[in-house]
Amino acid sequence: MAHLERRPGCVLDYAFNPSSVAVVGASDQPFSFGYHFLRHLLDYGFKGPIYPVNPQKQSLQGVKAYKSLSDVPGDVDLVICCVPTGRVLPLLEECPSKNVKVMHLFTARLSETGRPQALELERTIQNRARELGIRIIGPNCMGIYSPSSGIAFGYGFPRETGNIGVIFQSGGSATTLIQNGMLQGLRFSKVISYGNAFDIDESDIFEYLAGDPNTKVIAAYIEGVKDGQKLMRSLKKAAALKPVVAIKGGRGKAGTRAVMSHTAALAGSLDLWHTAFNQAGVIEAGDIDEMINLLVLFNCLPPIRGGRIGVMGGGGGKNVISADVAEEAGLSLPPFSDDMRRKLREMVPDLWDWVGNPVDFSIWGDSFMKVREIPGLFIESPEFDFLVIQVSDDNPMADDWWVNIIKMEVENIVSYAKQGRKPIVAIMSTAKAGYSDLENVRWKTIAEQRPILVDARIPVFENMAEAAGALNKYIHYWERR
């Protein structure tokens, strides 16, 4: 057991790195959460004692089961509570005798239903937990994903750890972030879905991840907050130490209603949220896809403090549109300097006066192999902060030639990125190909080449709009620091 990470007095250490876990309401019904949470501990290799609690079972999923929490031998750091609302209070009473430090209250249908009785029960649970000294994550949440400890709340999460810490009020959206993000190379240090947050709240978790040495970047999804001053303090502290990318859930009328019935949160004034994020230096994202794009940049690139880009690859139309979109997003494409023109003149005597930034690869004709040197030209020139290289998927060749061009260009991007002399971002469109579309060698090639870029830690985007939107926020972040 990795006790090393535990810092005294910090209850979240017990949640992310417990010595022992009990799943109360554990089950062998594969559609129930009492089944899922137990199975995840087994699947992800939690190394301490696992105690399934179910009054009707001798064993569950091959693990000895206990009739009640009190029957469990030894102490329990973390209780994952999957029983219905009516059985939470009696369970709480059992916790002190087992030295329970923290309970993940997966149990839902409390204040978020908007029903007075459920709200009252939630308040009673909250008060009793406080009296007993049991700290609560939730209720109404998916809880903990801590890959280094072997705890998870979803199937197919990465087993290896990473450097992104995640504070999400929604477990489903955290799942999307983890599962879609892993395809783009993202890995996670500690993830928490915290739901209605009547005890441990977003501010506590920001404080905690701010001090966590394994977390380099923080991603947060917040629907509402009870103590704005406290959040502001912890946001400022966290954002001063590491990049924080946040989504505010419940920005409009319908979203505000949805937030009430999702986590019983009061969405609050949007202006206030924008001001708070801006003052703290938090980077705002509109949705999970934008958040993933931003996290990919923090994961792959060094700080960039300027928006002057060299753009290259693909034909004329692709370059014109990409230049337009990049400029509209706030980036700039400086023209070639005299020095670059001089170098170009040596490289391609028949093209040097015609080529510009963006560099259209389709006009190179017999000199096509020379396009491999173009990134180097931009890298050597101090007029550019970084490069955006588009794969020439619009080239008009027959399949075999087309495939070779794509592979050559991807190889070239990887080779320049490895030199690490200037940040490089790639653009290559998967075009949402369906499974049957991959029988076509072109879509198969794109689908095969994409992970090569991801594995080389090169950010790769569908189009310039996606790339430039994320890059503009990324640069703005570093320019402010």
Q: Please report, as residue ranges, which positions from 426 to 455 form the binding site for a second copy (by CB under 8 A).
A: 429-438, 440, 442-444, 447-448, 450-451, 454
Distance CA 235, CA 239 (A): 6
DSSP string, 21-88: EEEET--S-TTSHHHHHHHHHHHTT--S-EEEE-TT-SEETTEE-BSSGGGSSS--SEEEE-S-GGGH
- Minimum CB separation of residue 52 from a second copy in Å reads 17
Task: Output the six-digit token pair for 380.
Answer: 């050597």
Q: Does 119 bind a second copy (CB under 8 A)?
A: no
Q: Does 34 bind a second copy (CB under 8 A)?
A: no
Distance CA 228, CA 83 (A): 32
Task: Output the six-digit token pair for 327.
Answer: 């400029």
- Minimum CB separation of residue 177 from a second copy in Å reads 9
Nearer to a second copy, 229 or 436 (CB): 436
Q: Are 85 and 109 in contact (CB under 8 A)?
A: yes
Smallest Cα–Cα separation from 321: which of 289, 370, 360? 360
Q: Does 46 bind a second copy (CB under 8 A)?
A: no
Smallest Cα–Cα separation from 463: which of 279, 216, 289, 267? 289
In three-state secondary structure terms, 146 is: strand
- Minimum CB separation of residue 366 from a second copy in Å reads 10
For residue 58, the Cα-to-chain-centroid distance in whole angstroms is: 39
Q: Does 367 bind a second copy (CB under 8 A)?
A: no
- Minimum CB separation of residue 48 from a second copy in Å reads 23
Positive or negative torsion for Cα 237, 259, 126, 11: negative
DSSP 163: S
Compose the 177-216 pattern: x for residues touching a second copy by CB under 8 A, - for all others.
--xx--xx--------------------------------
- Minimum CB separation of residue 111 from a second copy in Å reads 11
Q: With contacts defined by CB under 8 A, name the span among 54-62, 131-139, 230-238, 326-334 that binds a second copy.
A: 326-334
What are the distances in angstroms from CA 446 to CA 137, 399, 409? 43, 12, 12
- Minimum CB separation of residue 31 from a second copy in Å reads 6
- Minimum CB separation of residue 118 from a second copy in Å reads 10
Q: With contacts defined by CB under 8 A, name the span among 64-72, 111-119, 126-134, 373-381 that binds a second copy.
A: 111-119
Residues 6+ apart with CB under 8 A from 296: 181, 184, 185, 186, 459, 470
Q: Does 257 bind a second copy (CB under 8 A)?
A: yes
Q: How many chain residues bind a second copy (CB under 8 A)?
A: 110
Q: Does 315 bind a second copy (CB under 8 A)?
A: yes
Q: Does 353 bind a second copy (CB under 8 A)?
A: yes
- Residues 389 to 428 in contact with a second copy, rule: CB under 8 A: 393-399, 401-402
Name 63's bridge partners.
60
In three-state secondary structure terms, 201 is: coil
- Residues 139 to 158 in contact with a second copy, rule: CB under 8 A: 142, 153-156
Q: Does 472 bind a second copy (CB under 8 A)?
A: no
Compose the 163-182 pattern: x for residues touching a second copy by CB under 8 A, - for all others.
-----xxxxxxxxx--xx--
- Minimum CB separation of residue 440 from a second copy in Å reads 7
- Residues 48 to 107 in contact with a second copy, rule: CB under 8 A: none
Q: Does 349 bind a second copy (CB under 8 A)?
A: no
What are the distances in angstroms from CA 355 to CA 92, 360, 426, 458? 72, 7, 20, 26
Nearer to a second copy, 153 or 474 (CB): 153
